[in-house]
Amino acid sequence: MGLTLTDAKRDVLSLLHEKPRHGYMLAKELGVQGSTIYEHLEQLDDAGYVAGREEGRREVYELTQKGVLTVEAAQLDES
């Protein structure tokens, strides 16, 4: 059974499609708790949609190829 892409997870993917971000920035932009964002990021990472890399003291997340294709397919569906 795969990961269900809820609206909240889609919002995270959409923001990461614009540019890589760290969890605190995502939480602030989406107006949610940091713990919620990190739970989403962990699930998205486990499912292969995002990857984190250390940048200084923070983990910065960016889309994988699977994440990019998912966001772009969703954008096509909206057109």
CB 70 within 8 A of CB 13: yes
pTM for this entry: 0.91
Round to whole Å and give the CA distance between 35 and 24. 9
**Residue 72 structural domain:** 7-78
3-state percent helix, strand, coil for the chain, nearest multiple of 5: 60, 20, 25
- 71: Cα separation from own chain's centroid: 10
**pLDDT value, residue 38:** 96
The enclosing domain of 73 has a CATH number of 1.10.10.10
Q: For each successive 10 residues of the chain (79 residues), what is the average pLDDT?
A: 86 97 96 96 97 94 96 81
1 within a domain of the structure (yes/no): no
Number of folded domains in the chain?
1
**pLDDT value, residue 28:** 97
41 within a domain of the structure (yes/no): yes
**pLDDT value, residue 79:** 64
